[in-house]
Amino acid sequence: MVSTRLIEAPQERAFQAFANPDQLKHWWGPSGFVNTIEKFELYPGGEWRLIMHGPDGTDYHNENVFTEVTVPERVAFEHREPVHRFKMEMTFAPAGAHTQLTWRMVFESATEFARVKDFIIPANEQNFDRLAAHLAAL
């Protein structure tokens, strides 16, 4: 699955919104979610553990391992928990004064993707909306 958005911020600023956990916790996830970042080691083999607190009060524990980091252009990681596993590649491409942000998600199977796509597609768009609002507020 591929999601993309033109972000109204330069590449370095858009990348730092992800690379800095103090910023990331404010915009990661769909609308209404709040995050507790327990560990964030942005280098290949580094762990990223967070708890996404849903608007209904449900806590979603997430475990990820970074597989590639190229500052300020690309981050790849494996999402290992909780419910579904996937590989995620995020690219931050300069587009004039803006950044073309692209997320590529590869799920373990077509069946798994079919099971979650009705949630994931709008959730990614909400995530991009939250990032754009976060960057506009800085």
pLDDT greater at residue 41 or residue 82: 41
Q: How confident is the model at residue 84 (pLDDT cuts 50, 70, 90)?
A: confident
- Residues 64 and 47 sit within 8 Å (Cβ to Cβ): yes
Tens digit of each residue's pLDDT (9 = 90 or more) over 55-72:
999 999 999 999 999 999
Rounded average pLDDT over 92-108: 97
pTM of the model: 0.94
In the chain, % of residues over pLDDT 70: 98
CA-angle at 58, arms to 55 and 60, nearest 5°:
105
Domains along the sequence of the chain with CATH: 2-32+71-137 (3.30.530.20)
**Residue 83: pLDDT above 80?**
no
Hey, which residues does 61 pair with through a beta bridge? Answer: 51
Q: Burial, 7: exposed, middle or buried (Cβ in 10 Å; 0-12, 13-18, 19+)?
A: buried
